[in-house]
Structure 1
Amino acid sequence: MEHVKALAIKGIMTLIVLYVILSLGFGISFINTLILTVVLGAVSYLLGDLYILPKTNNMIATMADLGVTFIIVWILGTVLTGMGLGTMIWEAAISAVAIAIGEYFFHSYISKKPLGANKRLRASYSH
């Protein structure tokens, strides 16, 4: 149940940020923003939140999320929208920075939850 709650929080945060930047700011369709949100949420939750964060620290996991966001929004965004890589790079960079800021706070939240490998991380914070 904790995973569902964490994914819901992450998904809502990501959708709002990407909608404001990509849809409102750059005119990318809502459906493309939604697809990017789902793909990005799944990849970054598994990689950044459940794998990297428990083994390192918040800043390293946040930087990993920044990189993952940039790559996914840049490459998948280019495929979905038909924009050139050179054009989509700005949307990806702005999105990556904004998502990374949110991820920093999200990591603080999930570090306190019993989510798989985070159980060990949570135990280390309580000492």
Structure 2
Amino acid sequence: MNLNWKVIGIKLIISTIVVFSIFGIFYHANIMNLIVVSILTAGVSYFVVDQYILPRTNNLMATLADFVLAFATLAVLGSFLIVTDMPVILASLFAAFFLALTEPLLHAYIQDGEEKERDNMRYVPGRNLQTEFAEETDEETLLRKKDPRRDQTD
């Protein structure tokens, strides 16, 4: 299975658990809205942080970017999709915090998997190879060739 699909699956599971735990318990939100919030949060986080920021920076910067992005995504989607009297900002902050706790482990898994994929890559030469023959391997040429060391006439 491809590493990217594993990471998306893990991120989706973590996001679903956190969103269902916080927004589902405290806000009694609709299950379809929670699924949409989970999928969008995991997707945005994967494509922005794991595919763009993590390869260019280190694990700490990617985790901080994950926290900020998860908070913004959860706050915006929560305010639009979850109908409640209470503000969603505090719940978004807690959910982003719990998501950010799991991200360093996921980033380490991504970096380790990419390193193993790089190690397993093999160089495959192109199709423009030619066979090369040296004249010394031809038996007739060896018999006809005059070697000054062999043909000493002293």
- Aligning the two structures, in what range does the TM-score lie when normalised by the shorter sequence? 0.7 to 0.9
Choose between structure 1 and 2 for higher RCO, CA contacts under 8 A separated by at least 6 residues: 1
Q: What is the root-mean-square deviation of aligned Cα atoms in Å? A: 1.8
Which amino acid letter does the alignment assign opposite residue 91 of structure 1?
A: A
Give how far 1:25 is off. 3.1
Q: What residue is the counterpart of 1:87 in the other structure?
A: 87
Aligned residues: 116
Q: What residue is the counterpart of 2:9 in the other structure?
A: 8
Which amino acid letter does the alignment assign opposite residue 105 of structure 2?
A: F
Matched, 1:51 2:52: yes
Structure with higher helix content: 1
Which amino acid letter does the alignment assign opposite residue 4 of structure 2?
A: H
Which amino acid letter does the alignment assign opposite residue 36 of structure 1?
A: V
Give how far 1:71 is off. 0.6
In percent, how many aligned pairs have the same letter? 30
Q: What residue is the counterpart of 2:101 in the other structure?
A: 101
* Distance (Å, rounded) in 2 between the aligned partners of 1:28 and 1:91: 12
* Distance (Å, rounded) in 2 between the aligned partners of 1:36 and 1:25: 15
Give how far 1:97 is off. 0.3
Which consecutive residues of structure 1, in runs of 5 or more, have no partner in the other structure?
A: none
Give how far 1:49 is off. 0.7
Aligned structure 1 segments of 4 or more residues deviating by more than 4 angstroms? none
Q: Scaled by the length of structure 1, what TM-score is found?
A: 0.83
Q: What residue is the counterpart of 1:67 in the other structure?
A: 68
- 1:29-76 Cα distance to aligned partner (Å, 9 max, x none): 221111111111111101111111111111110110101111111011
Give how far 1:83 is off. 3.9
Give how far 1:27 is off. 1.8
Decide which structure has the larger Cα Rg and report it.
2
- 1:63-118 Cα distance to aligned partner (Å, 9 max, x none): 1010111111101111002347x70101110111000001121111111123xxxx
* Distance (Å, rounded) in 1 between the aligned partners of 2:65 and 2:15: 16
* Distance (Å, rounded) in 2 between the aligned partners of 1:104 and 1:30: 28
